[in-house]
């Protein structure tokens, strides 16, 4: 609830205690055996649990879990555009992206901040080329994404989750959208699907900071195109192109999960309607 902070007797500014911890050991991206902290290899993605149709009130919904990164998404609509705008033969998309207040290491505010607004915009833009918007003129589709727990790559997970939720809503789509993140550490090392400790923080890079950064891409597997690219950090253009290629490879590996999930959800729906049909007969 957006609180009236003036009346709540709590300090105006608080900091997480971790800031004041003196980390004695320097964090190493890779262990000595070349594996990552959670024993994954460089280009290994975390196992994914994906389920569609988890919010019964919504027209479509999905939940994704990749180890500790958990995102839930619900889709409502298409309904009439509320704001008075010009006539449009195409439907419009609106996406609200929110980190739950408890989802990140530090507490987040209830109000959507500018980062979250931006994320919402990017998700809407990433889904737009995948959705047959001309099928619902003058109407609007609302997508609500909430990150329940953020352990890195939450944005990529949100992209995948949102696209599954839209498909689950029975909205006609040209393609599904799959998100994948990557952290580049030096010219040659890149870590796919980074956890929050592996993720890129510009100031934490020691020495030469060139070619350190992170890349997130949204991939449309059937069209073989990218619908979103977000890059931070300093990366050579040639390396950046390679990063995108690796993100695509990662997405291709996620695709079977998405496809299985949608097939299962469709089966479930069919069974359900058969059951209700039987009940009606009785």
Could you say which residues in the range 155-184 bind other proteins, by CB under 8 A? 167-176
Nearest residue to 153 (alpha-carbon basis) of 120, 181, 177: 181
Mapped to the 3 state alphabet, what secondary structure does 110-145 carry?
Answer: CCCCHHHHHHHHHHHHHHHHHECHHHCCCEEEEEEE
For residue 135, the minimal CB distance to other proteins (Å) is 8
Nearest residue to 249 (alpha-carbon basis) of 194, 165, 178: 178
Could you say which residues in the range 115-154 bind other proteins, by CB under 8 A? 115, 117-118, 121-122, 125, 128-130, 132, 135-139
Residue 170: count of CB within 10 angstroms of its CB: 12
State how far the Cα of 249 lies from the Cα of 192, in Å rounded to an integer.
10
- Using DSSP bridges, classify how beta strands 92-99 and 139-149 pair: parallel, antiparallel or unpaired: parallel
Could you say which residues in the range 39-68 bind other proteins, by CB under 8 A? 59
241 binds other proteins (CB under 8 A): yes
259 binds other proteins (CB under 8 A): yes
240 binds other proteins (CB under 8 A): yes
Number of residues that bind other proteins (CB under 8 A): 81
Work out which of 7, 26, 237, 280 binds other proteins, going by CB under 8 A: 237
29 binds other proteins (CB under 8 A): no
109 binds other proteins (CB under 8 A): no
Whose Cβ is closer to other proteins: residue 40's or residue 212's?
A: 212
Length of the chain measured in residues: 282
Give 279's contacts (C-beta < 8 A, 6+ positions apart).
Answer: none
Work out which of 100, 205, 249, 252 binds other proteins, going by CB under 8 A: 205
């Amino acid at each position: 609830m957006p609180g009236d902070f003036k009346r709540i007797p709590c300090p105006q500014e608080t900091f997480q205690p971790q800031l004041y911890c003196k980390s004695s050991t320097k964090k190493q991206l890779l262990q000595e055996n070349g594996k990552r902290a959670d024993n994954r290899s460089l280009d290994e993605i975390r196992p994914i649990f994906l389920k569609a149709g988890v919010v019964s009130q919504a027209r479509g919904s999905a939940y994704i879990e990749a180890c500790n990164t958990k995102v839930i998404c619900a889709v409502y609509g298409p309904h009439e555009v509320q704001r008075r705008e010009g006539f449009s033969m195409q439907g419009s998309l609106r996406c609200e992206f929110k980190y739950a207040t408890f989802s990140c290491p530090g507490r987040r505010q209830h109000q959507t901040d500018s980062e979250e607004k931006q994320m919402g915009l990017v998700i809407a833009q990433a889904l737009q080329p995948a959705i047959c918007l001309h099928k619902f003129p003058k109407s609007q589709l609302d997508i609500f994404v909430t990150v329940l727990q953020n352990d890195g790559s939450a944005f990529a997970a949100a992209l995948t989750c949102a696209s599954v939720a839209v498909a689950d809503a029975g909205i006609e789509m040209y393609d599904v959208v799959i998100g994948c993140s990557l952290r580049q550490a030096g010219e040659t090392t890149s870590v796919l699907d980074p956890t929050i400790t592996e993720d890129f923080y510009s100031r934490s890079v020691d020495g030469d900071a060139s070619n350190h950064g992170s890349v997130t891409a949204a991939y449309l597997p059937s069209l073989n195109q990218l619908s979103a690219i977000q890059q931070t950090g300093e990366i050579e253009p040639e390396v950046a192109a390679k990063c995108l290629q690796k993100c695509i490879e990662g997405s291709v590996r996620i695709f079977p999960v998405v496809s299985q999930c949608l097939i299962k959800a469709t089966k479930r729906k069919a069974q359900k309607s058969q059951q209700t049909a039987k009940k009606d007969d009785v």
